[in-house]
Amino acid sequence: MIALLMRDIRLATRAGGGFGLGLAFFLIVVVLVPFGVGPQTELLARIAAGILWIGALLACLLSLDRIFALDFEDGSLDLLATAPVPMEAVAAIKALAHWLTTGLPLVLAAPVLGVLLSLPVQGYMPVILSLLLGTPALSMIGAFGAALTVGLRRGGLLLSLLVLPLYVPTLIFGAEMARRGVDGLDTTTPMLMLAGITCGTIALLPFAAAAVLRVNLR
């Protein structure tokens, strides 16, 4: 399992592997927002948490089609299906590799990019914590969507259409937790809901993704 995880991380960090693409998109979104809404510091501070969450969500979408597509094209996915490793574990490892190469860099970059959006000082920790709790759910949901569309030609658009509605609860509670933190309010309720969504996706979606992969590989 560790070998599979390290292999996926190495593939993602190679040229054209997608590493840094989501981070670059995240940076572009955050940089362009002040140009679009104007230089009003109060307005930027009010929408900073939501913009960071929307940017992170869209950045995660960019590399979802790579989770299983490369393995499907070179036949590695067929070998993994016949290996003694359960397909549920393979799906979970693929999602973990995606989070380590996409979600975690977004979490680490959020405080720096928050400066560009005039994020209040008290909002940094809630924003970081909400992204840290929520981005694993984005990767696991994305892995399920990638399993649904594996083998389809030009399935990237279909993947986005399938995954975006499933991302909405994570976005709602993640942005609400960050917004409450910025306003100095209690964040316990959205934090628990966000943690529950993440734990639920990690517990259930590997089985769903594995079942879909078995069907697509027949």
Per-residue pLDDT of 8-29, as tens digits, reads 778 777 755 566 788 888 899 8
Listing DSSP states for 19-74 in one string gives TTHHHHHHHHHHHHHHHHH-S-HHHHHHHHHHHHHHHHHHHHHHTTTHHHHHHHHH
> How far is the C-alpha of 171 from the C-alpha of 206, rounded, in Å?
21
Model confidence pLDDT, tens digit, residues 178-201? 999 988 899 999 999 999 999 999
Q: Which helix (H) or strand (E) holds 86?
A: none
Cα dist from 4 to 7, 88, 92, 93, 165, whole Å: 5, 13, 11, 7, 30
> How far is the C-alpha of 20 from the C-alpha of 91, rounded, in Å?
22
For the ranges 82-96, 155-169, 195-209, the one whose mean pLDDT is highest: 195-209
Whether residue 76 is predicted with pLDDT greater than 90 in this model: the reply is no
Model confidence pLDDT, tens digit, residues 48-69? 999 999 999 998 888 887 888 7
Bin 184: left if φ > 0, else alpha if -120 < ψ < 50, else beta.
left
Map residue 125 onto helix, strand or coil: helix
Query: How many residues would you count in the chain?
Result: 218
> How far is the C-alpha of 30 from the C-alpha of 190, rounded, in Å?
24
Number of structural domains in the chain: 1
65 CB neighbour count, 10 Å cutoff: 23
Stated pTM of the model: 0.90
Say if CB 49 and CB 178 are below 8 A apart. Answer: yes
Whether residue 161 is predicted with pLDDT greater than 60 in this model: the reply is yes
Domain range for 31: 2-216
What confidence score (pLDDT) does residue 3 get?
77
